[in-house]
């Protein structure tokens, strides 16, 4: 999705070429992923000549909210607090990130 969001549209080959150099995926794997995303309503495609051009139907923020909602309901009983506690307890956040969260929470609490 990141590649398609940045390019606004693209073929399977465009997506493969837009992936980080340390990511190596087969054409068929990327095609399968794009088809799954299309079936879920995140993408659409049009045919131009022999190529299928994929375009995002949702923006990054909408996709993030959807993914986070799924993550919360599936793994954290719908609780944002449990998610945050897991991140903090698992030491997955650096000191700077924790400080930024503290500041944001303080602003939101006012």
Structural domain count, the chain: 2
**Is 43 in the same domain as 67?**
no
- Residue 4: name the closest of 30, 28, 26, 23 by CA: 30
Asked whether the predicted pLDDT for residue 110 surpasses 80, the reply is no
Mean pLDDT for the stretch of residues 60-86: 93
> Look-up: residue for tokens 């993914």?
67
Report the CATH number at residue 51. 1.10.10.10
Q: Is the pTM of this model over 0.85?
A: no
**Is 43 in the same domain as 85?**
no
Q: Which two tokens stand for residue 61?
A: 């923020």
Q: CA dist 94 to 5, 47, 87, 102, Å?
A: 28, 46, 10, 12
**Is 9 in the same domain as 43?**
yes
Residue 87: pLDDT band by 50, 70, 90 thresholds? confident
Computed over every residue of the chain, the mean pLDDT equals 93
Percent of the chain exceeding pLDDT 90 equals 82
User: The domain containing residue 48 runs over which residues?
Assistant: 2-56
């Amino acid at each position: 999705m990141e590649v398609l969001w940045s390019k606004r549209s693209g073929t399977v080959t465009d997506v493969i070429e837009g992936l980080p150099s340390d990511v190596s995926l087969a054409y068929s794997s990327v095609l399968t992923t794009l088809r799954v995303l299309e079936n879920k309503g995140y993408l659409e495609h049009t045919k131009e000549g022999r190529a299928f051009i994929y375009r995002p139907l949702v923006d990054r923020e909408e996709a993030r909210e959807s993914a986070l909602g799924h993550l919360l309901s599936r793994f954290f009983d719908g609780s944002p607090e449990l998610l945050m506690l897991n991140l903090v307890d698992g030491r997955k956040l650096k000191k700077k990130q924790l400080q930024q969260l503290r500041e944001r929470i303080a602003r939101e609490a006012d």
